[in-house]
Amino acid sequence: MLALSLVALALHGALAGLFYTFSMSVMPGLNAIDPAQAEAAMRSINRKILNPWLYLVFLGSPLAALVAGLLADAPAAFWFFAAAAVNFVGSFLVTVAINVPMNNAFEAGTMPWKDYASRWTAWNTLRAAAGVVSLVLMGAGLTAL
């Protein structure tokens, strides 16, 4: 139980860090260069980020928290379920419903950089915040074990 909870904590930390890094450094860095270069770089990033390591963290963090909640006793279970719920809504659903469709429109050339960058970053920052909240909730669950 402890090992699974620690794995879930690490997965949440990796996901929060990924989203945080994009909002706080990658996107500002891309916004500081020529838009055509930024577009090419972001398209490359969007293609390369789709890999098994992303899927492990992206799908694994809410699932690991959910399983930890199912295996834990109260009050730890509450915190793990809360982490899974915040992660699912704030990271998974936002990604699927908002960021991925924007990525697809951007890739197709129907959304220019000037429209894409600020909107995508705003939603990504929400994902980062949800990731941090989920991480804290996982930590609270660990202290309740």
The b/e string for 13-32 (b: 16+ C-beta within 10 A; e otherwise) is bbbbebbbebbeebbeebee
Domain count along the chain: 1
Tokens of 17: 């860090």
pLDDT at 109: 96
pLDDT at 127: 98
Q: Is 90 exposed, middle or buried (0-12, 13-18, 19+ CB in 10 A)?
A: buried
Instruction: Supply the range of the domain harboring residue 86.
Output: 2-144
pLDDT at 145: 95
What is the rounded CA–CA span in Å between residue 48 and residue 41? Answer: 11
What is the rounded CA–CA span in Å between residue 103 and residue 54? Answer: 16
pLDDT at 80: 98
pLDDT tens digits along 3-28: 999 999 999 999 999 999 999 999 99
Which residues of the chain register pLDDT less than 70?
none
pLDDT at 99: 98
Tokens of 35: 């838009």
In sequence order, what are the residues at sequence separation of 6 or more whose Cβ sits closer than 8 angstroms to the Cβ of residue 140? 79
pTM assigned to the model: 0.95
pLDDT at 54: 98
C-alpha dist (Å) from residue 65 to 15, 38, 62, 94: 13, 36, 5, 18
